[in-house]
């Protein structure tokens, strides 16, 4: 069933006609496809692939109707988030602040059907710390409670959605790279992408920075509880959408300088072999090597951000926390070979964040 699931996801991701090997499916098999799509938070993408099947191969009518209703709800949530983002950035601009939108809806804009990508939080990045401090002051004056967070510049609920503010552009943790990342940020500011949403211009990271942010973010989560297909689809759509706007030599150098080159190569190979990205859309030619992805098994089992790994629980009990730490330790060890320097510094930072959160809570 995995290959059928992938075929439907690829069809939705690229707008292609799915191969019909493995069809027709039984009712139980369709329930399994739908369940996996929801666990991976790619139900909108897989749904688009399902609609490309011949009528006689579609899911049973009750399931298809329920799925259609779910996607209609997803579209409405995405539209509300777009309105909230436009209002937020209109307010930010009105107060003479400079901020970028990270990930999320900016990546959704790279999809054929942006409203069919599952949305999460609203992540905004302040290139200047002074702007972040002013933002928090303005929010408190409005009565908004800004919660401190060990890995962010504050979290608050802005209407229906959680807004997470960042003072760190990418999940790169080696202290020796601070100056390099600052240089790269200033270099790429001129290439920032302008996204027009609900009559408002919102700044997105440049294509180079978008690749770095996505690749580093995926690696960070792979080292903790895991990643799901939504994050991998995001990375593939970035490769496709920005393929003609990438300085290949610069991006390759960025990955080498930041120490995540081997991880990036593994991720790009997976985009071609598993997700069906045509190789000519990769940002730079890949070196010859094996095409095995041991981390993919965790993707299948864990679902979105590893939430479905065996033993995972939102409970804060000592037993649950031990399982969480054990799972994170296994993931860290299995992925360390891709970027040992980053893995080392990230683990130190992670222990520090855990200590801070214990003190705060």
DSSP state of 242: T
pLDDT-derived band at 214, boundaries 50, 70, 90: very high
Same domain (yes/no): 214, 318: yes
Nearest residue to 173 via CA among 322, 326, 351, 356: 351
Chain segment 255-307, per-residue pLDDT in tens: 999 999 999 999 999 999 999 999 999 999 999 876 667 888 889 888 887 77
Same domain (yes/no): 197, 185: yes
* Average pLDDT score over the chain: 89
Q: Helix-strand-coil percent breakdown of the chain, rounded to 5? A: 60, 10, 30
**Range in 43-47, 249-253, 324-328 the model is least confident about:** 324-328
Same domain (yes/no): 191, 117: yes
So what's the pLDDT on residue 321? 46
**Range in 47-51, 59-63, 104-108, 289-293 the model is least confident about:** 289-293
pLDDT average, residue stretch 152-172: 89
Nearest residue to 167 via CA among 114, 102, 256: 102
Same domain (yes/no): 54, 131: no
Run of H or E residues at 161: strand 161-166
Q: Judge whether residue 144 has pLDDT over 80.
A: yes
DSSP string over 162-230: EEEEES-SSS---GGGHHHHHHHHHHHGGGPEEEEETTEEEEE--HHHHHHHHHHHHHHHHTTT---HH
So what's the pLDDT on residue 357? 58
Q: Judge whether residue 318 has pLDDT over 50.
A: no
So what's the pLDDT on residue 326? 54
Run of H or E residues at 237: helix 229-241
Q: For the chain, what percent of residues have pLDDT higher than 90?
A: 72
Higher pLDDT, 113 or 305: 113
Measure the CA angle with vertex 12, ends 281 and 261; round to 5°: 35
Q: Would 219 be classed as within a structural domain? A: yes
Give the domain-ending residue among 147, 182, 205: 205
The pTM for the full model equals 0.91
Higher pLDDT, 9 or 319: 9
Same domain (yes/no): 211, 294: yes
Instruction: Look at phi and psi of residue 25 and say left if phi exceeds 0, alpha if psi is from -120 to 50, else beta.
Output: beta
Give the domain-ending residue among 153, 187, 205: 205
The residue with tokens 């059907």 is 113
Q: Would 251 be classed as within a structural domain? A: yes
Please count the structural domains in the chain. Answer: 3
Same domain (yes/no): 89, 133: yes
How far is it, in rounded angstroms, from Cα 335 to Cα 143? Answer: 43
How far is it, in rounded angstroms, from Cα 95 to Cα 89? Answer: 10
DSSP string over 276-337: ---GGGSSSPPPS-----TTHHHHHHH-GGGTTSTT--S--SHHHHHHHHHHHHHHHHHHGG
Give the domain-ending residue among 190, 205, 220: 205
Which domain, by its residues, includes 55?
1-59
Same domain (yes/no): 213, 361: yes
Higher pLDDT, 150 or 317: 150
CATH of the domain at 183: 3.30.460.40
Q: What are the backbone dihedrals phi and psi of residue 203, each rounded to the nearest 5 degrees, phi first?
A: -80, 130
Same domain (yes/no): 238, 347: yes
Same domain (yes/no): 296, 359: yes
Chain segment 76-100, per-residue pLDDT in tens: 999 999 999 999 999 999 999 999 9
Same domain (yes/no): 52, 94: no
pLDDT average, residue stretch 152-164: 87
pLDDT average, residue stretch 103-112: 96
How far is it, in rounded angstroms, from Cα 65 to Cα 123? Answer: 33
Q: Judge whether residue 233 has pLDDT over 80.
A: yes
Q: Would 64 be classed as within a structural domain? A: no
Measure the CA angle with vertex 25, ends 293 and 273; round to 5°: 20
Same domain (yes/no): 246, 308: yes
Same domain (yes/no): 231, 115: no
The residue with tokens 């996505």 is 214
Q: Would 74 be classed as within a structural domain? A: no
Q: Would 78 be classed as within a structural domain? A: no
The residue length of the chain stands at 361
């Amino acid at each position: 069933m995995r290959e059928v699931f992938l075929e439907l996801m690829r069809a939705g991701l690229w707008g292609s006609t799915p191969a019909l090997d493995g069809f027709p499916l039984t009712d139980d098999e369709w329930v399994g496809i739908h369940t996996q799509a929801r666990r991976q938070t790619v139900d909108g993408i897989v749904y688009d692939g399902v609609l490309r099947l011949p009528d006689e191969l579609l899911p049973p009518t009750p399931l298809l109707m329920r799925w259609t209703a779910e996607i209609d709800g997803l579209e409405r949530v995405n539209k509300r988030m777009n309105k909230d983002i436009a209002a937020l950035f209109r307010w930010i601009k009105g107060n003479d602040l400079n901020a970028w939108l990270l990930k999320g809806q900016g990546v959704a804009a790279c999809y054929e059907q942006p409203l069919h990508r599952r949305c999460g939080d609203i992540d905004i990045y302040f290139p200047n710390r002074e702007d972040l401090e002013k933002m928090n002051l303005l929010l408190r004056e409005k009565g908004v409670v800004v919660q401190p967070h060990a890995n962010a510049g504050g979290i608050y609920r802005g209407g229906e959605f959680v807004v997470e503010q960042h003072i760190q552009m990418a999940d790169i943790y080696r202290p020796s790279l601070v100056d390099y990342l600052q240089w790269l940020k200033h270099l790429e500011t001129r290439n920032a992408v302008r996204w027009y949403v609900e009559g408002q211009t919102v700044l997105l990271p440049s294509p180079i920075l978008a690749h770095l942010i996505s690749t580093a973010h995926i690696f960070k989560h792979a080292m903790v509880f895991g990643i799901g297909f939504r994050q991998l689809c995001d990375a593939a759509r970035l490769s496709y959408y920005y393929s003609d706007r990438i300085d290949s030599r610069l991006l390759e150098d960025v990955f080498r300088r930041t120490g995540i080159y081997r991880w990036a190569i593994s991720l790009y190979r997976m985009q071609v072999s598993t997700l069906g990205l045509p190789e000519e859309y990769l940002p730079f030619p890949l070196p010859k090597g094996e095409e095995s992805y041991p981390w993919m098994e965790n993707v299948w089992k864990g679902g979105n951000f590893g939430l479905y790994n065996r033993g995972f629980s939102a409970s804060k009990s000592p037993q649950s926390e031990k399982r969480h730490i054990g799972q994170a330790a296994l993931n860290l060890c299995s992925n360390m070979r891709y970027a040992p320097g980053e893995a080392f510094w990230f683990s130190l930072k992670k222990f520090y964040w855990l200590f801070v959160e214990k003190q705060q809570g």
